[in-house]
Amino acid sequence: MTATDAFSAGQSTQGFHPQSDAVATPALSIEGVSHAYGTRRALIDIAFSVAPASFTALLGLNGAGKSTLFSLVTRLFGIQHGRIGIFGHDVAQAPGEALRLLGVVFQPRTLDLDLSVTQNLLYHAALHGIGRRDARARSAEVLARIGLADRAGSKVRDLSGGQMRRLEIARALLHRPRLLLLDEATVGLDVKARADILNHVRQLVAEQGISVLWATHLFDEIGSNDDLVVLHQGRVLAQGKVARVIADAGGSDINTAFMRLTGSTAQSGSSTS
Amino acid sequence: MTSAAMTPIQRGFSLAEYLTCLNGIVWREALRFLHQRERFISALVRPLVWLFIFAAGFRQVLGLSIIPPYETYILYEVYIAPGLMAMIQLFNGMQSSLSMVYDREMGNMRTLLVSPLPRWFLLSCKLLAGTAVSLLQVYAFLLIAWFWDIAAPPTGYLTVLPALVLSGLMLGALGMLISSGIKQLENFAGVMNFVIFPMFFASSALYPLWRILESSPMLYYVCLFNPFTHAVELIRFALYGQMNWIALAVVGGCTIAFMIGAILAYDPSRGLIRRGPAGGET
């Protein structure tokens, strides 16, 4: 059985997609993706998908391969094996069309600290071919939405860590993508900032129908109704609704289920880590 | 999901979107340059030190015969001015590559590379932006030199512009190519020692090639094969309203070669760009 076959079988038996999306093109489809750095295999035959307008958590410890996967989806790395599609657009064959539908928040900060908040947004808009007038209007709109309208002219280096993250999310939404990837977006933030960002992203899913892939190693960021993909040492160990993953693993909660699946004594799954 | 399912409509990009992107990248580069005043000042101070101090000291030591494009005896300061203009572009090209390494380390580079527009286009825009910044520096230098009585024919300030654009593109593309192979910012010091200094000193920027031939035939051939020599000569001739066809061919050819190399180097499926995750990422 190939990874893709297993993926398809997994979809039908585990009910990974909501029923309404059974025939819809996945927001993100990963099919049999493997990646190696020299002889070190970072991803091994990965296969899963993200349904439209869903919140999918990609759970894995540090070193699981989450960032490598994000680099492949965003085409920072070339795809060595397998196929990645964004709303049906093959990332390798039609990267422009695929990336146009994608918003990304990377694990490291990617803002230009020397530019102002608005200048960062205008630069991003230009990279997506959005004209200056439209870009200004969109910038004002997203800044108002994330509560940074009064900081529009401030240098980015003067913002707090939480504000920078919110700005990065706003920037990722500026070109109105349909799929949003967030790689450990709350790392280094205090409890309140983490909660604010997570709530904001969940609102985007509920109100705007944006599909989200949320990479994390923190169990408490995963909701009971979320879709979940467990990634460990470059392999997908489980996928499906959170309750189903817990039940299949024979755990009592996500923490014990994760430890059963990985056979580890995971310590990084708490918010205080 | 099968491959047959991956056949949605592709709308491509309009000319307006390409131009907006180009405008945005040039605008960002200009903003960064203006925000870094010390970079602008140091970019000017470096050639001015050579012009006002080094050239003044060597004026009496180095004799110059009448060589094209000059039609009469010239001061040493006049001779090295085109070389210093090229030097500004050389440093700017390497500075741009330094900023690309910095951007890659800081993560900013991802913002550029994740743009949906073709990567060759994004890198070309980046190159054009760096060249535009180098033109600002060169013309500021020419203005100061003019007050020092080192003046070219009035039309030379216009005829030199295409030469500056081409040489700026060549040196910027070289810097971009180099940046793709540098993994850490600290490694950039090596670029100073192994690229900038050899290119500058083994060229006709400071002394005519016939004088080098008299001193060392081997060094003469090194200079002859140095693309920077041809950038200097292209600028020198253009500043006096003349064309050095050999220099044009070499600089044009090198620009294309370096640019192709840089685009390949930043191509995720083929290039030399670092394949491992950034620090702390997996």
- Rounded to a whole number of angstroms, the distance from the CA of B7 to the nearest CA of chain A is 6
What pLDDT score was predicted for residue B43? 79
Q: What is the pTM of this model?
A: 0.80
Cβ–Cβ of A83/B3 closer than 8 Å? Answer: yes
Least CA distance to B1: which residue of chain A? A8
pLDDT digits (tens, 9 = 90+) for A156-204: 999 988 889 889 988 998 999 999 999 988 887 788 888 888 998 899 8
CB contacts, 8 Å: A89 with chain B: 6, 8, 10
Q: How far apart are CA A183 and CA A187, in angstroms?
A: 9
Question: From the list B36, B108, B115, which residue is nearest A128 (CB)?
Answer: B115
Q: How far apart are CA A262 and CA A252, in angstroms?
A: 15
What pLDDT score was predicted for residue A13? 33
- Sequence-distant (≥ 6) Cβ neighbours of residue B2 within 8 angstroms: none
- Rounded to a whole number of angstroms, the distance from the CA of A215 to the nearest CA of chain B is 11
What DSSP designation does A116 have? B
Cβ–Cβ of B106/A25 closer than 8 Å? Answer: no
Element (H, E) at A240: strand A235-241
- Rounded to a whole number of angstroms, the distance from the CA of A31 to the nearest CA of chain B is 8
Q: Which of B55-69, B174-188, B218-232 has the lowest mean pLDDT?
A: B55-69
Expressed in angstroms, the distance from the first to the final Cα of chain A is 38
- Rounded to a whole number of angstroms, the distance from the CA of A221 to the nearest CA of chain B is 19
- Rounded to a whole number of angstroms, the distance from the CA of B266 to the nearest CA of chain A is 9
Residue that the structure tokens 């190159």 belong to: B127
Q: How far apart are CA B204 and CA B224, in angstroms?
A: 9
Question: From the list A29, A64, A129, which residue is nearest B282 (CB)?
Answer: A64
Q: Which of A15-19, B113-117, B200-204, B244-248 has the lowest mean pLDDT?
A: A15-19
Q: How far apart are CA B267 and CA A162, in angstroms?
A: 33
CB contacts, 8 Å: B116 with chain A: 95-100, 128-129
Look at B3 and B96; give whichever has higher pLDDT.
B96
Residue B71, Cβ density class (10 Å: 0-12 exposed, 13-18 middle, ≥19 buried):
exposed
What pLDDT score was predicted for residue A107? 84
pLDDT digits (tens, 9 = 90+) for B114-160: 899 998 899 899 899 989 989 999 999 999 988 888 888 899 999 99
Q: How far apart are CA B174 and CA B97, in angstroms?
A: 9
Q: Which candidate, B273, B228, B12, places its Cα nearest to that of A97? A: B12
What's the complex ipTM? 0.79
Ordered domains of chain A (ranges, CATH): 3-101+177-262 (3.40.50.300), 109-171 (no CATH)
Cβ–Cβ of B14/A129 closer than 8 Å? Answer: yes
CB contacts, 8 Å: A42 with chain B: 277, 282
Look at B72 and A256; give whichever has higher pLDDT.
A256
What pLDDT score was predicted for residue B108? 76
pLDDT digits (tens, 9 = 90+) for B79-116: 889 999 999 999 888 887 777 777 776 677 888 888 99
Q: How far apart are CA A14 and CA A4, in angstroms?
A: 15
Expressed in angstroms, the distance from the first to the final Cα of chain B is 27
- Tell me if residue A273 falls in helix, strand or coil: coil
- Rounded to a whole number of angstroms, the distance from the CA of B133 to the nearest CA of chain A is 17
Cβ–Cβ of B282/A63 closer than 8 Å? Answer: yes
What pLDDT score was predicted for residue A109? 83
Per-residue pLDDT of chain A (273 residues; tens, 9 = 90+): 333 443 333 333 333 343 344 457 899 999 999 999 888 899 999 999 999 999 999 999 888 899 899 999 998 888 999 999 999 999 999 999 999 999 999 888 889 888 899 999 999 999 999 999 999 999 999 898 888 889 999 999 999 888 898 899 889 989 999 999 999 888 877 888 888 889 988 998 999 899 999 999 998 899 888 999 999 999 999 999 999 999 998 888 888 999 888 886 555 444 433
B57 pLDDT band (50/70/90 cuts)?
Answer: confident
Question: From the list B20, B111, B281, which residue is nearest A107 (CB)?
Answer: B281
Least CA distance to A118: which residue of chain B? B28
Least CA distance to B99: which residue of chain A? A112
Least CA distance to B118: which residue of chain A? A96
CB contacts, 8 Å: B32 with chain A: 112, 114-115
Which whole number is the average pLDDT over B191-201? Answer: 82
Least CA distance to B109: which residue of chain A? A110
CB contacts, 8 Å: A37 with chain B: 275-277
Look at A240 and B78; give whichever has higher pLDDT.
A240
Cβ–Cβ of A88/B6 closer than 8 Å? Answer: yes
Phi, psi torsion values for B43, nearest 5 degrees: -65, -30
Count chain A–chain B contacts defined by CB atoms under 8 A. 157
Q: How far apart are CA A24 and CA B265, in angstroms?
A: 37
Cβ–Cβ of A94/B117 closer than 8 Å? Answer: no
Taking CA B266 as the corner, what is the angle to CA B261 and CA B272, rounded to the nearest 5 degrees? 75
Least CA distance to A97: which residue of chain B? B10
